[in-house]
Amino acid sequence: MKKFEGMTDESLALLYVKGNNSAFDELLARTQSKLFTYIMFVVHDHDVADDIFQETFVKVITKLQHGQYTDSGKFQFWLTRIAHNCIMDWYRQQQSRHIVEPNQENDLQNLSGASIMDSFRESEMVNEQVLVDVKRIMDALPATQREVVYMRFFQELSFKEIAELTNVSINTALGRMRYAMINMRRMAKNHDIELALQA
């Protein structure tokens, strides 16, 4: 909406707290795509992601209405943390192992690596295959490791921010990244996959 143009997410959240429902509609429109992509990346199931997304926004509304948000300049960070907690709650409810099986619908093809591709077609083809292979390998990681890799490389968060968002120590976040890298290298070696992009 044009009347909210130039307003920060934080300002919109506080406007909603004061009773402006249109401010929340704008906030939802601004944040829903990025948040859903994050949830989907972790859970790899559209229906589950949809449920978690809705649960996240129910909690956001509840927390806002109960005055549990203060303008810290990090609304997106606060939102992602709530989503992370909803994802972890969902995993705790599951009786099965915490490794999500990749499927045809959700193989991370929505993450584009085109911006880092070389202009020469031969290099592009090799690089495209490398990114497809990396995404397949990431699909096979345990959810906690996949989440850290996503936050670090796709959202470009620091390990301090990752630790805060996932409610673990920095050492745990670093450890998850280390194990993710070890697992990815091992899987690449086992399947003779080249993980280096061509210049």
- 126-160, pLDDT tens digit by residue? 556 656 667 777 888 888 888 888 888 778 888 88
pLDDT band, residue 92 (cuts 50/70/90): confident
Percent of the chain with pLDDT over 70: 74
pTM of the model: 0.60
Cα separation, 94 vs 110, whole angstroms: 26
Please give the backbone phi and psi of residue 131, each rounded to the nearest 5 degrees, phi first.
-65, -40
Cα separation, 157 vs 148, whole angstroms: 9
- The per-residue pLDDT for 113 is 45
- Cβ atoms of 32 and 53 within 8 Å: the answer is yes
Cα separation, 171 vs 99, whole angstroms: 22
Structure confidence by residue, pLDDT tens digits, 16-63: 989 898 999 999 999 999 999 999 988 888 999 999 999 999 899 888
Please give the backbone phi and psi of residue 119, each rounded to the nearest 5 degrees, phi first.
-75, -15
Cα separation, 48 vs 86, whole angstroms: 11
